[in-house]
Structure 1
Amino acid sequence: MSFNPYSTDLPITEVIDEVKAHLHSNNTLIVNAPPGAGKSTLLPLALLEEDWLEGQKIIMLEPRRLAARTIAMRMADLIGDKVGNRIGYRIRFDNCVSEQTQLEVVTEGILTRMLQSDNALEGVGLVIFDEFHERSLFADVALALSREAQQVLRPDLRLMIMSATLDMPQLTKLLNAPSAVSKGRQYPVEIIHEGENDVMLLPELTARVVSKAVKEQQGDILVFLPGEGEIRSCETILKKKHRDISIHPLYGQLPPNKQYAAIMPHREGKRKIILATSIAETSLTIEGIKVVVDCGFSRTLKFNPNSGLSRLETVDITLDSADQRAGRAGRLGPGVCYRMWSKGTHNRLQPHRTPEIEEADLASLVLEMAQWGVADIRKLTWLSPPPKGHLAQATELLHQLEALDNNRITEHGKAIHQLPCHPRLAHMLLMAEEEELAPLACDIAALLEERDPLGKEAGIDLNARIEALRRHRLGELKSKPLSRIAKIAEQYRRILSLEEDNSSVDPYETGLLLVYAFPERIAHAKPGNNAQFKLANGSIAAAGHQDDLAHESWLAIANVNAREGVGKIFLASPLNPQDLAPMVKTVESVSWDTKRGGFKAQSELRIGSIVLQSKPLHHYDEGLKIKAISEAIKKEGSWLLNFDKEVMQWQNRVLSLRSWDAGYDWPDVSTEALLADNESWLSPYLSAVKKPDDLKKIDLKTVLQHHLDFELQSRLEQLAPERIKVPSGSQIKLNYQSNGEAPVLAVRLQEVFGMTDTPKVNNSAVNVLMHLLSPGFKPVQITNDLKSFWSHAYFEVKKELKSRYPKHHWPDNPLDAPAVRGVKRQNK
């Protein structure tokens, strides 16, 4: 290698020797270095000649495609070579490697697929995880599998995790690995807070701040916006105001030549404004940037396991993202960052971004792990364990797609895994081969993976996009977005050994293929057809009233926004109901609907949650009925049952003993806990329930009392009695508190004449709080020390009561006076 990494003035050179020493004696290392330190280019090159590598490859994982290409090209240039020789890259549908390649920069699921085809990663000596702080799903999965390979098969396999911002103590503890830290060389960046922002006016407000920065500062300007829509709107505004400045968008779906034009210096030396998504936060080196304008928002894809759908959300950026964005202005010299939010808002930002694994669709992950042979996914080494709900939804989907059987991967699942796309699309491609519709499926898969090439103005019909794609291939329609989609479709046809098909499209065939990919999104028009459809997963979605597909009876939906209430359909195709015959199932539906009268048992013909036909069911499993009512109680809450004052007092008595009587296992009988676990204590009493009124008639106090074992029932009466007998002979109810505070005894003062000591509960360990009342039942004194009250406060109270209730007897010595329930008039 002709390149000497120590010859540069980049800060990372200070820790190269430390990194080499650690990797010589450890198989895992964490490197922390700020953006611009040179870690992504110099460190991998510096390690190529290490003895322990022994001619094996280095694989470096990059979370973004543009960064993977750019870094590979930069490293090749540093050693005076062409990319594809010693330094190469591999990304989805694009690779530039050869037999001579010693260092491969890979992205997305490439490393995971390498691990699946060769669990031991033979021929690889080091795996580098670059920009790990971005916490992409693929990076987390690849790290988990690499650790598994390292621990079981390849203890000599070295792993190096590199990041600009990470929770270092947590990571070093989890991986049990040393770390090397480069302080970097960041020039000072002046921060200017522009005050509060409005996400609804983002392009206009951002353009205003950019114009201000153009006037006030020198050098190129990097602007951060959430997505393509805001970028294009802002670009339009700025091009009208600044005709002498070269303005460049930069986002993931942009063609590579335009991405490179954004990051490279302008050929004619013009000043530049780059409008970028978070793609520009790290890795990429953009020459000439001295000013950053940060709108303060990013866009993230969040998955809802309840609906099985993902949706893009615009969210506030985190502190680490804000720091990285500002840092882009200080790589070459002192810079300026305009933040479009206030200092107060800045102090409230979350410190770190949420890992993708906590918010993403995990179908691909579950399939990867099934292929790997992992029985319990959560037992692997995860920096952030995948959420149980997301795993359950993904597992259910893969069973629907016949990729799993009893959580084991099937032969069909293995075939799905071989295809470089989401399991849904892979299943569709494979099923299309059986239907002799594979060329159409390739076009559909390519269209669904990319942004809509026609936009919302074209309506929701996916077939319009397929026809446009085929017209483009025939040369009848020119479109850069369609060119990219055509290339992806061609890659799928090549994988499946298919010929190109540009014939006219049968929309029902499109609908059938979408059903294979999205079985839970089969949609049936709601009665009255107000452009609303019920999906097989139970949710409701709508098309525009003027849309061509708004009046169809059946749709297969490819893209829908899972909003609260009614979702919005973006892409769909009409369905022939005859094609749905294999999906219709007879279901015995045992359910509870409070609004419609309560319990129902029906035999239904269904597609998921879509009911086609129903009739009363006279013979059903009693257990299903109890389960249905129990679930309704969990969902609808305490108002279905009679939680009256008697029940609440019983609950408070038991809850008090949970605080006082720690030696006994008193159950949690809070309303929340009882509702969540109602089946365990209420199920014997639900058999006769048919309507909501029947639930209200259940004697909850008796039911709950009997749910305690005999010892606890007896102990409850002994330690927390319902009533206390006072000298008048009355049995007065105690009022217990749920938080374990002293219970209240509200009693008329005349009924406790002669009582010397404060009553106690819990084996005399807790004094009750006495509310002493007037004859009119108004509080006159609150005390937990009755003896002190008689000695001191009584005589003041007596004066007041004697004037207000002159006909009542108020003795001078209350301890010797007889207690009375009613009115004892004084002697005349």
Structure 2
Amino acid sequence: MHTNFFDDLPSLPIDSSLPEIVSTLMTSPNCVLQAPPGAGKTTRVPLALLKNYHLAEKKIIMLEPRRLAARTAAARLAQTLGEQTGNTIGYRIKNDTKVSSKTKIEVVTEGVLTRIIQNDPELSAYSCIIFDEFHERSMHADLGLALAIEIQEALRDDLRILVMSATLDTQEISTLLNNCPTISCKGRSYPVTVKHVPMPQAPTTRVDQHIPALLNHMVKTIQYAITNDEGSILAFLPGAGEITRVAEMLQPAIPQNVDITPLYGNLPQKQQDAAILPAKAGRRKVVLATSIAETSLTIEGIRIVIDSGLSRSSRFSPATGMNRLVTEPVAIAAAAQRTGRAGRLDSGICYRLWSKVQENSFRPFASPEIKEADLAPLALELAQWGAYGEHGAHALAWLNTPPASNYRQALTLLQQLGALDTNFSITAHGKAVAALPLHPRLAHMIITANEQGYGLTACILAAVLSERVHGTDLRHLVEQALSTPTIAKTTRHLCNLLQIPASEPLKIHMTGACLALAYPDRIGKLLANSRTEYKLANGRKAQLAEESSLAASPFIVVAELNDVHATSRIWSCAPIHIDDIYNLFKSRIQECESVEWDEKTASVTALRTEQLGEIILSQQPLTNVPQERLLAALLEGIRKLGLETLPWTKEALHLRERLSFMHIYSHVLTSVTNQNEWADVSDKSLLSTLETWLSPYLTGMRNASDLRKLDLKTILLASLDWTQQTTLQKIAPTHFTVPSGSSIRIDYSNPNAPLLPVKLQEMFGATQTPAIANGQVPLTVHLLSPAGRPLQVTRDLLSFWKNGYPSVRSEMRGRYPKHPWPEDPITAEPTRKTNRALKNK
């Protein structure tokens, strides 16, 4: 190892701060370094610490947020020493490690750091941890820092922690690290001219709706820049799909001396390396990149940045237990980082495909991943660390504590996977899951599938899902996967970890079963009368494309879907046979016998049901159902339909109205009836007491049509004893005999004030108002014309004869001359007859 490795290197802004950084960490356990992109912190600080800072010859570990950044940083550090990667400088990333016994600086990615800490809680091999690009605020970086702080406080007071960031609030992180020193370094960047070139048409409110137009605008801007500006181009797009489309659109539309190179996380290593290399002599390049190129990487020759202004991230919903990809405007801090890419090595220009007005609505900073992500991996790591349950996370020091709802959802999932027990302690299976470099869902899948005899299939599927290979039918992707180098490499690594023999056959037909082990909550059953819409075990609805080869499959398992609308679009899935569901989830399938009211058929259904989550696997009719269960369900149906579903004849309604009168006036009638209470027959009361008055008559009935056979008048009368029935007839009679001798039905529709509709002539001679209840409740008399039309309403007949009758007589005698209209109604004979009939009497 060279000891004077900075002597022959071009100076960088960070160089002047290196002595302060080294001396600070000699006297303080922690330090925060704020340095803008291009200052040289990634390539100089680790070497300066290695040269000047030795504690028992321990190693330095540096965390990088992405695999490409880790490999690139390690290569440049090794190049500075004139060595190959794997000697003094090494790296550990997913499925790829280059370290040796000589390695003193290990550049690692986030999951690797957590694994190192879990395997050696004292970090006995390391003297210092460097968290590079901490402003990206990945969940694993937050977790790694929280664990490192606890190690430092409880086990290793000699452990040094250095947090390096370009844009982070240094005061906040300094406070977290016990108010440690903060060092700021100025960067060196060349001037970048920023030009806003928004689309001619204003974008719609939904980002995804204007992406096609944005891609066209991106292509035109790239063509313009190739013609009018010098240097290579770095274009930022939200995802791999947009990168592919822009590349296809550009290919026939640019000069022959311009190369197009994509750059995103799931590209094979060789293609990633090709993207960050300088263009060949006499050629230019257009790098189409995701946010992977915002920090850490310097792509030589880039003098033009074209920024779509969009970023894509995964958001977790505790309500559904699912992730969804969100495309949204980039944060201001990220836009500044992107712009800076054009000024790393020379002056440049940045085209922003949005207006200054739109920029006012951009967020200042992106939200920390820990606030938005699926926390199952974090919860499992904490359980393995010994931080148990919902409150375990609060024992650690965080910049942002994991959201409680997301964390509870994660704990529930881990219990369902068997990784945690009922006390939230990690199980033996959970430890096996945590040992694998996969999300807990996928780790559980390959372990369990291996026990079932199809581990190879599960490992290939895990590799496909980890690398985010696109395609609706995962069976086809699994079948073709081993022809893709990165997937084949990941598969071999997983098979080696599980000691799966190379001779094990691939079982394509078990793809759905494997997927169900990872996503039991996303097993879907085809909805009736549909070819593409499914109900998932978690209660959500999801839909396949009409042209999908899996349309009409009775059962599927969904791996990925766009969880935005009530019915989500399925992106990838696999069919599963119902026998596999029964075999895999015997303990979770709930068997129940239900006897309940079915609103669709308006009848009582009796079924034996087998159900997984929210989906029904099978239903069979129940036989020999006890009568009391059928009766209870029928009563439930009546309550849902309301009393109006019962066959209320006029006679039954009249009886019910009389009973209402008795209930209302029971306090007045006590002396007459010798009964203090009469039953309430209101809708509310009758519905609440169906078991008492109606159920004895429902034997053998199961549907709404059966209810039409009921005789409600007889049923209501039967609820009264003999004394009540006679009292009812006496106190609230059905009819009243008027002076003419006619028996007139009393109208009890308003039980508070029963009324007697009677023709005026039939009441001649009556001086007392008619009354019921032994004369205690006067009837409201509706005096009618000979044609039966209302003339007067009164509860004081004598007053009416004296005061109201003369004007009625004056008006009506001309209209009804055939009927008697005597001057003195009090002395006149009551009659139903006309004048002629009276003369012929």
TM-score w.r.t. structure 1 length?
Answer: 0.70
Rounded to whole Å, the distance in 2 between the matches of 1:429 and 1:595 is 43
Rounded to whole Å, the distance in 2 between the matches of 1:135 and 1:86 is 28
Q: Are 2:92 and 2:106, in contact at CA under 8 Å, matched by a contact in 1?
A: yes
Deviates more, 1:236-245 or 1:155-164: 236-245
| 1:260 lines up with 2:273 in the alignment | yes
Q: 1:389 to 1:501 in 2, by over 3 A?
A: farther
Q: In the alignment, what sits opposite 2:188?
A: 185
Q: In the alignment, what sits opposite 2:304?
A: 291
Q: 1:51 to 1:531 in 2, by over 3 A?
A: closer
Q: Are 1:24 and 1:52, in contact at CA under 8 Å, matched by a contact in 2?
A: no
Rounded to whole Å, the distance in 1 between the matches of 2:476 and 2:146 is 42
Deviates more, 1:114-123 or 1:538-547: 538-547
Rounded to whole Å, the distance in 2 between the matches of 1:51 and 1:437 is 51
Rounded to whole Å, the distance in 1 between the matches of 2:55 and 2:293 is 32
- Residue 576 of structure 1 and its aligned partner are, at CA, apart by 2.1
Q: 1:384 to 1:602 in 2, by over 3 A?
A: farther
Deviations 1:510-537 (A, max 9, x none): 2222221111111111111331111110
Q: Are 1:89 and 1:106, in contact at CA under 8 Å, matched by a contact in 2?
A: yes
Q: Are 2:306 and 2:350, in contact at CA under 8 Å, matched by a contact in 1?
A: yes
- Residue 586 of structure 1 and its aligned partner are, at CA, apart by 3.0
Percent identity (aligned) = 43
Tell which structure's C-alpha radius of gyration is larger.
Answer: 2
Deviations 1:183-241 (A, max 9, x none): 11122211111125642322211011112222221111111111111112212222222
Rounded to whole Å, the distance in 2 between the matches of 1:266 and 1:230 is 23
1:200-211 aligned at under 5 Å gives the runs: 200-211=212-223
| 1:404 lines up with 2:405 in the alignment | no
Q: 1:221 to 1:547 in 2, by over 3 A?
A: closer
1:593-742 aligned at under 5 Å gives the runs: 605-611=610-616, 612-613=618-619
Q: Are 1:131 and 1:164, in contact at CA under 8 Å, matched by a contact in 2?
A: yes
Q: In the alignment, what sits opposite 1:314?
A: 327
Rounded to whole Å, the distance in 1 between the matches of 2:590 and 2:115 is 37
Q: 1:602 to 1:28 in 2, by over 3 A?
A: farther
| 1:24 lines up with 2:26 in the alignment | yes
1:220-369 aligned at under 5 Å gives the runs: 220-242=232-254, 243-369=256-382
3-state SS of paired residue (2:82):
coil
Q: 1:503 to 1:374 in 2, by over 3 A?
A: closer
Rounded to whole Å, the distance in 2 between the matches of 1:335 and 1:223 is 13
Q: In the alignment, what sits opposite 1:712?
A: none
Deviates more, 1:554-563 or 1:38-47: 554-563
Q: Are 2:454 and 2:507, in contact at CA under 8 Å, matched by a contact in 1?
A: no
Question: Structure 1 stretches of 5 or more lacking a match?
Answer: 473-481, 623-684, 691-828
Q: Are 1:92 and 1:108, in contact at CA under 8 Å, matched by a contact in 2?
A: no
Q: Are 1:3 and 1:79, in contact at CA under 8 Å, matched by a contact in 2?
A: no
Deviations 1:44-81 (A, max 9, x none): 10000334533110000000111101110101010111
Q: Are 1:202 and 1:230, in contact at CA under 8 Å, matched by a contact in 2?
A: no
Q: In the alignment, what sits opposite 2:17?
A: 15
Q: Are 1:526 and 1:532, in contact at CA under 8 Å, matched by a contact in 2?
A: yes
AA in 2 matched with 1:585: Q
3-state SS of paired residue (2:86):
coil
Q: Are 2:591 and 2:611, in contact at CA under 8 Å, matched by a contact in 1?
A: yes
Rounded to whole Å, the distance in 2 between the matches of 1:439 and 1:4 is 47
Deviations 1:652-691 (A, max 9, x none): xxxxxxxxxxxxxxxxxxxxxxxxxxxxxxxxx9x9699x
AA in 1 matched with 2:380: L
Q: 1:593 to 1:562 in 2, by over 3 A?
A: farther
Q: 1:553 to 1:75 in 2, by over 3 A?
A: same
Q: Are 1:301 and 1:360, in contact at CA under 8 Å, matched by a contact in 2?
A: yes
1:371-390 aligned at under 5 Å gives the runs: 371-375=384-388, 376-390=392-406
| 1:431 lines up with 2:448 in the alignment | yes
Q: Are 1:320 and 1:351, in contact at CA under 8 Å, matched by a contact in 2?
A: yes
Q: Are 2:132 and 2:163, in contact at CA under 8 Å, matched by a contact in 1?
A: yes
| 1:46 lines up with 2:62 in the alignment | no
- Residue 377 of structure 1 and its aligned partner are, at CA, apart by 0.7
Rounded to whole Å, the distance in 2 between the matches of 1:469 and 1:199 is 30
Q: In the alignment, what sits opposite 2:589?
A: 584
Deviates more, 1:14-23 or 1:40-49: 14-23
- Residue 345 of structure 1 and its aligned partner are, at CA, apart by 1.4
Question: Structure 2 stretches of 5 or more lacking a match?
Answer: 204-209, 633-684, 691-841
User: Aligned pair count?
Assistant: 611
Rounded to whole Å, the distance in 1 between the matches of 2:595 and 2:466 is 40
Rounded to whole Å, the distance in 1 between the matches of 2:689 and 2:166 is 61
- Residue 270 of structure 1 and its aligned partner are, at CA, apart by 1.1
Deviations 1:559-612 (A, max 9, x none): 222131111222222222223330311369999999999x99998532001134
Q: In the alignment, what sits opposite 2:431?
A: 414
Q: 1:217 to 1:94 in 2, by over 3 A?
A: same
Q: In the alignment, what sits opposite 1:485?
A: 487
3-state SS of paired residue (2:42):
coil
3-state SS of paired residue (1:382):
coil
Q: In the alignment, what sits opposite 1:450?
A: 467
Rounded to whole Å, the distance in 1 between the matches of 2:366 and 2:689 is 49
Rounded to whole Å, the distance in 2 between the matches of 1:141 and 1:322 is 26
Q: In the alignment, what sits opposite 2:3?
A: 2
Q: Are 2:525 and 2:536, in contact at CA under 8 Å, matched by a contact in 1?
A: yes
Q: In the alignment, what sits opposite 1:98?
A: 100
Deviations 1:433-467 (A, max 9, x none): 22111111111111221232xx54xxx32222222
Q: In the alignment, what sits opposite 2:457?
A: 440
Q: In the alignment, what sits opposite 1:693?
A: none
Q: In the alignment, what sits opposite 2:513?
A: 512
Rounded to whole Å, the distance in 1 between the matches of 2:329 and 2:99 is 39
Q: 1:339 to 1:497 in 2, by over 3 A?
A: same
AA in 2 matched with 1:414: K
Q: Are 2:456 and 2:504, in contact at CA under 8 Å, matched by a contact in 1?
A: no
Q: Are 2:474 and 2:572, in contact at CA under 8 Å, matched by a contact in 1?
A: yes
3-state SS of paired residue (1:273):
strand
Q: Are 1:53 and 1:126, in contact at CA under 8 Å, matched by a contact in 2?
A: no
Q: Are 1:542 and 1:566, in contact at CA under 8 Å, matched by a contact in 2?
A: yes
Q: 1:302 to 1:49 in 2, by over 3 A?
A: same
Q: 1:590 to 1:428 in 2, by over 3 A?
A: farther
1:50-61 aligned at under 5 Å gives the runs: 50-61=52-63
3-state SS of paired residue (1:49):
helix
Q: 1:499 to 1:584 in 2, by over 3 A?
A: same
Q: In the alignment, what sits opposite 2:409?
A: 393
AA in 1 matched with 2:393: I
- Residue 506 of structure 1 and its aligned partner are, at CA, apart by 4.8
Q: In the alignment, what sits opposite 2:669?
A: none
Q: In the alignment, what sits opposite 1:141?
A: 143
The two structures, once aligned, show a CA RMSD in angstroms of 2.9
Rounded to whole Å, the distance in 2 between the matches of 1:45 and 1:688 is 82
